[in-house]
Amino acid sequence: MSPASPPAPAPGPGPEALRALLPSDPSSIAGYRLLGRLGAGGMGVVYLGRTGTGELAAVKVTHGDQADQAAQAEFRARFRREVEAARRVSSPWAVPVTGADPDAPEPWMATAFVPGPSLGEAVGAHGPLPERSVRVLGGAVARALAAVHAAGIVHRDVKPGNVLLAVDGPRLIDFGIARATGETALTATDMVVGTPGFLAPEQAEARAADIGPAADVFALGCLLAYAATGRPPFGTGALDALLYRTVHDEADLAGLPQPLLGLVRQCLAKDPAARPTAEDVAARLTEDAPGAAADWLPAPVVATIAARSAAMLALPDIDATAPGTDPAAPVGSSRRGFLTLGAGAAVLAAGGGALALWNSRRDGSGDGKTPAPAPRKTWAVGVLADLSGPAQEIGRAQERGARLAVERFNSVHRGKPFTLELKVSDDRGDRTGALAAARRLTSDPSVLAVLGPTSDDTGIAALPAFEEAGVPLLTTSAGYNLFTLRGVAGPANTTVLRAVPSHFMAGAFLAWSTTLLPRVGRPGVLQERTDDQYGWQYVSGARFGYRQAGLTPHFRVVPGRATDYRSILGEMIDAGMDTYVHCGVRSTAVLAARALDGLGFTGARFTGQHVFGTEFIEEAGAAAEGWYLCAPVIDPVQRAADPRQKAADRKLVQDFVDIHRKRYGTAPAYYTGESFDVVNLVTSWLTARAALGPLTRKGAWEALRARTHTGVMGGYAFDKNGDLSGVGTFLYRVRNGAYAYLGAAPAEPAKTKPGET
């Protein structure tokens, strides 16, 4: 708004992760009947396959739309290397290869299917493992790594998602980036390969010549710490922050059982030569192998494995596929959401491919016999929001804005060929259920675009559903950079349109806002790590902003659990701080506000999006008075009364305020107007697109990205990456216990000191 490689899926998630085949998917590959999709990412799609004798396998195939890539020698070499690496490993604790053909038109590889959760899934759902479980886990994975290293290979991506849990022990999977010792890399020498947070320092610094078996041992140490504590030892958040901590900081091992502490610390030594070998680790984790018993795992994890194993019995039978049969045709009915036939008409699986297939047959083309279906009379815009969790105030405001926009569309376009519905899915602010909440929308073929998510965490967790289905996702509140910035080696964003600044840019706008004030010479910038990715990105943006302004701030980083803000801020004042910038969440901003009041600090105090809201004023009380806050939203009531706006613009906003009052009985809350605008951007595209022929999801993201739109809250346009063009950050000050709207944040540092805004 302006006044500016996903990891390859683990070949063993349970059936609840199994999704129906898309119309573009094959029905069988090299004797494996394909039952559904386990996931997509990295180099291809992973299917659940079954042999003629009933054995299940995870079948990894290059993407259907990557045929050109598969023809490239480099790509085939990479796939062939993965197959060869996996075949050279002989260990009961590594998933074996059961078949492969790197030279097929679409290269494929099959591995044994493990119906248990990954370590990451298990810890995320049930919490840290007890010490014995960690010892069994570590011993088995260490033995698998010993076999990997004995085969002359370095795995290079040992992480919770690449360890599957079965009743008879864990399994190490995914040799997609494994590399033979001494082998020349197929990737650039300065490219970081692996998963941040589970990389050795030599990997984090891309020192290719130093990456050997010891790097896997470092990752194993990270894995053991994660399993025992439930958190990565170097935290979470932005990529550059994780890499920096891995190289320079000590691991956070609080809560690790004392008997494991010494071994894990040795595994996490910065110097590769100081780490034990995988064989040494296996010998020191002396628990016996679990055998056929499941008592090495906590009961809730065993129950998950049992449920997934039982669900395998409900998979469809294998039916012969006649030549010319639609590859999306069913293989039987089941509660897994496979395609079903009824009354002679195919009920197509949801998703971009199925929707495109429906539209391709509207004219009766295809098999030459299918009658043209009647045009769809109702389409939908979805809302994925936190309606009952920690950010429900924002989520409900977003839903109301979207609903008003849909009602406006139907009112204006009454009698047109179709009507529009609003379909809402509550993610509850819980990342563990966000993907399922997203799929409730993306699996509905009537949904053409979705407003959401409310928060960063739920959005990142839900993103795969939108990428797989080809449904555009437009956010008015999530600023995490990875929604649109996938990295040099990752795929380009073709899914998200971010109608708010990234946290990095918001941090820069925040820094530039402080330069509007006189006598700002030594800002104090505090990063607290409750929401690490948000705080780090804000600090990085502020660092950039102050560098542009020619100022040298005093930076301080504190743990999220810190409470003694009087001492922390007292040290910053002693260091010469004349302006305070808080890069953290609301609860710690309240502590900072009270501490600064108690210390008699008279300088200006600034903070950002995750503090902005009525709760900060309520909780900080008098200590909030005078604070400046930057947020990606405008108060519609204050905008309607702003004399700086043109009369026509003020009337437009006032009409929106009046409509909201009539519909809901109150003035619109923050985020309502922006959500109303963004959904109106979608409906304006629908109106134009419907005049050209049948609606489909295909091309929707690119068409929306190319649009410009003027709404009640301002103008919207997007750059080639899907990020908002322009500023999109607005400045408020707390006056008399309320937010006073000051206007848009500056797009560059102030060149003069004109006095307080």
Beta carbons of 445 and 354 less than 8 angstroms apart: yes
The amino acid occupying position 609 is Q
User: Is there a catalytic annotation at residue 317?
Assistant: no
Pairing relationship of beta strands 730-735 and 628-631 according to DSSP bridges? antiparallel
Rounded to an integer, what distance in angstroms lies between the CA atom of residue 385 and that of residue 454? 5
Q: How many residues does the chain have?
A: 757
Rounded to an integer, what distance in angstroms lies between the CA atom of residue 701 and that of residue 41? 19
CA dihedral 452, 458, 461, 467 (to 10 degrees): 0
Tell me the three state secondary structure of residue 468: helix
Task: Tell me which residue of 672, 151, 666, 170 sits closest to 454, measured CA to CA.
Answer: 672
Tokens in use for 175?
């040799």
Beta carbons of 158 and 216 less than 8 angstroms apart: yes
Angle in degrees, CA 664, 678, 644, rounded to 5: 80
Beta carbons of 452 and 398 less than 8 angstroms apart: yes
The beta-strand segments (E) located in 400-506 are: 419-426, 447-451, 473-475, 496-498
Task: Tell me which residue of 497, 509, 405 sits closest to 453, measured CA to CA.
Answer: 497
In b/e form, how buried is each residue of 150-160, taking b as 16+ CB within 10 angstroms? ebebbbbbbbb
Residue 702, class by beta-carbon neighbours within 10 Å (0-12 exposed, 13-18 middle, 19+ buried)?
Answer: exposed
The amino acid occupying position 389 is G
Angle in degrees, CA 596, 600, 601, rounded to 5: 60
Rounded to an integer, what distance in angstroms lies between the CA atom of residue 569 and that of residue 524? 9
The total of other beta-carbon atoms located within 10 Å of residue 537's CB is: 28
Beta carbons of 447 and 473 less than 8 angstroms apart: no
| Catalytic-labelled residue, pool 157, 532, 635, 677 | 157
Q: How far is CA 33 from CA 43, 65, 110, 320, 493, in A?
A: 21, 21, 12, 9, 32
The total of other beta-carbon atoms located within 10 Å of residue 375's CB is: 11
Task: Estimate the crossing angle of helix 392-412 against helix 647-664, to 10 degrees.
Answer: 100
Beta carbons of 9 and 197 less than 8 angstroms apart: no
Asked if residue 453 has a cis previous peptide bond (ω within 30° of 0), the answer is yes
The beta-strand segments (E) located in 592-658 are: 604-607, 628-631
Helices (H), 313-415: 352-360, 392-412
Residue 99, class by beta-carbon neighbours within 10 Å (0-12 exposed, 13-18 middle, 19+ buried)?
Answer: middle
Instruction: Write out the catalytic residue numbers.
Output: 157
